[in-house]
Amino acid sequence: MNLVIDIGNSRTKLAVFDQDKLVETVQLEEFDREVISQLKTKYSQLDKAILSSVTQHDSALLQLLQTEFSYFLELSATTPVPIKNNYRSKATLGLDRLAAAVGAVTLFPGKDLLIIDAGTAITYDVVDKEKGFLGGNISPGLRTRFRSLHHFTGRLPLLAPTDQWPDIGTTTEEAIHSGVQTGIISEVESVINKVKSSWPDLRIIMTGGDAEFFDKKLKSSIFVKFEITLLGLNRILEYNVKND
């Protein structure tokens, strides 16, 4: 069995896989290494692990994983993956973006794909049907836009996303909601349409903490899969175990 650990900007996700079957997920606002021991106790066959992190790794965590698992893989820019990475600056490509692309190819083999990860940042990544990672775009995420307006101005309040808002705001709060949310939806639709012009049979997969906000609000048909990055990390782990 496999343990997948994905340390992101705002939360940590852990998942247990039995080969390619997702068995359990755990989400933490603050990472606690004790959770690994608890999962090891619960699943006695848990013997392989992969770690992906957007931040500097905790040396104690690395030592724990190296000690407790017979096979441990720390994902890096040089880790072999089951897709062709055509990104020119491979060393700076976010590992979460790469893992999500692998997860999307695992779910939809032989398809042209646009993976949208809506979190602290919104990332848009294209993978063609030959499993080539072509690159993508990065822009501020939904909550980042609200925080930026509050932080970089003197009097604008800090707001949270809402499901209903007017086209034209008649209060400052309404104006912020309308500007941020209408703007970000227009951006996502514009990127989708631009990518579709080159790949008409495109499959669109959305993930990330704000994916639910966009679901049903976009005109384009999207497939929401919150575990896509975890699925991709597990696939990378299995690929390296097989080819090691």
Is 124 part of any known ligand binding site?
A: no
Is 201 part of any known ligand binding site?
A: no
- Return d(Cα 7, Cα 124) in angstroms, integer: 20
Is 87 part of any known ligand binding site?
A: yes
Is 153 part of any known ligand binding site?
A: no
Give all strands (DSSP E) within the chain, no chain letters. Answer: 2-7, 12-18, 21-28, 48-53, 71-74, 84-85, 113-118, 121-127, 132-140, 203-207, 223-224
Q: Return the number of other C-beta atoms located less than 10 Å from residue 243's C-beta.
A: 8
- Return d(Cα 104, Cα 244) in angstroms, integer: 23
Is 141 part of any known ligand binding site?
A: no
Is 97 part of any known ligand binding site?
A: yes
Is 78 part of any known ligand binding site?
A: no
Q: Is 35 exposed, middle or buried (0-12, 13-18, 19+ CB in 10 A)?
A: middle
- H-type alpha helices, 108-227: 142-151, 172-177, 183-198, 211-214
Q: Give me 63's structure tokens.
A: 């030592």
163 part of the active site: no
Is 7 part of any known ligand binding site?
A: yes
Is 11 part of any known ligand binding site?
A: yes
Q: Give me 59's structure tokens.
A: 């040396």
Instruction: Point out the catalytic residue in the list 20, 47, 96, 215.
Output: 96
Is 9 part of any known ligand binding site?
A: yes
Residue positions forming the annotated binding site for K(+) = 117
Residue positions forming the annotated binding site for ATP = 6-13, 120
Residue positions forming the annotated binding site for substrate = 87, 94-97, 172
Which residues form the catalytic set? 96
